[in-house]
């Protein structure tokens, strides 16, 4: 699992009560096994109430990436840094990993937007920002 990987928790597919869960991997597992990620949402209500928070998200319009749901925008919540041991990631989201699948890798233009939102974030700590920049920055430097 490399930075920029998009994971989907299939357990939520087809449910009337919940939507698919998507995770954007920010860091490959560290030697201690930690993986950092952002979650996505399609709900704009919170951001419409607090429009200043739009600086801390990346909006992916419907149809941009085949693995994100139509007909709504997918919002990458760049202010909501999560970090967990890789094994616990699978347990937390999908009963030991059985339902967690890799659905793609974000393109460089979206990774660039994530880095901009991270820099703008008022909710991320300086340490969290550094972790994300150190992880995603080299991807953009080598693939220009």
Given this model, what pLDDT does residue 14 score?
53
* pLDDT value of residue 140: 81
Q: What pLDDT score was predicted for residue 100? A: 79
Q: What is the pLDDT of residue 108?
A: 94
**What is the number of domains present in the chain?**
1
Which residue range forms the structural domain that includes residue 77? 5-142
| Per-residue burial over 69-108, b = 16 or more CB atoms within 10 Å of its CB, e = otherwise | eeeebbbbbbbbbeebebeebbeebbeeeebbeeeebbee
* 127 pLDDT more than 80: yes
pLDDT digits (tens, 9 = 90+) for 24-79: 999 877 778 888 999 998 889 989 999 999 999 999 999 999 999 778 899 999 99
Q: Which residue has the higher pLDDT, 115 or 139?
A: 115
Paired sense of beta strands 74-77 and 57-60, if any = antiparallel
How far apart CA 36 and CA 52 sit, in angstroms, is 24
- Banded pLDDT at 95 (limits 50, 70, 90): low
Q: What is the pLDDT of residues 97-112, one digit of tens each?
A: 567 788 999 999 999 9
**pLDDT grade, residue 93 (50/70/90)?**
low
pTM for this model (two decimals): 0.86
């Amino acid at each position: 699992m490399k930075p920029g990987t998009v994971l989907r928790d299939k357990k939520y597919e087809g449910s009337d009560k919940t939507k698919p869960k998507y995770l954007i991997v920010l860091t490959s597992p560290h030697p201690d096994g930690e993986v950092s990620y952002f979650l996505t949402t399609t709900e704009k209500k919170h951001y419409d109430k607090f429009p200043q928070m739009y600086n801390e998200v990346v909006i992916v319009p419907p149809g941009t990436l085949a693995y994100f749901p139509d007909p709504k925008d997918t919002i990458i919540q760049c202010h909501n840094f999560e970090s967990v041991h890789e094994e616990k990631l699978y347990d937390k989201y999908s009963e030991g990993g059985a339902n967690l699948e890799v659905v793609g890798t974000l393109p460089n233009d979206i990774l660039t937007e994530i880095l901009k939102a991270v820099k703008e974030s008022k909710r991320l700590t300086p340490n969290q920002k550094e972790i994300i920049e150190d992880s995603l920055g080299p991807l953009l430097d080598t693939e220009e």
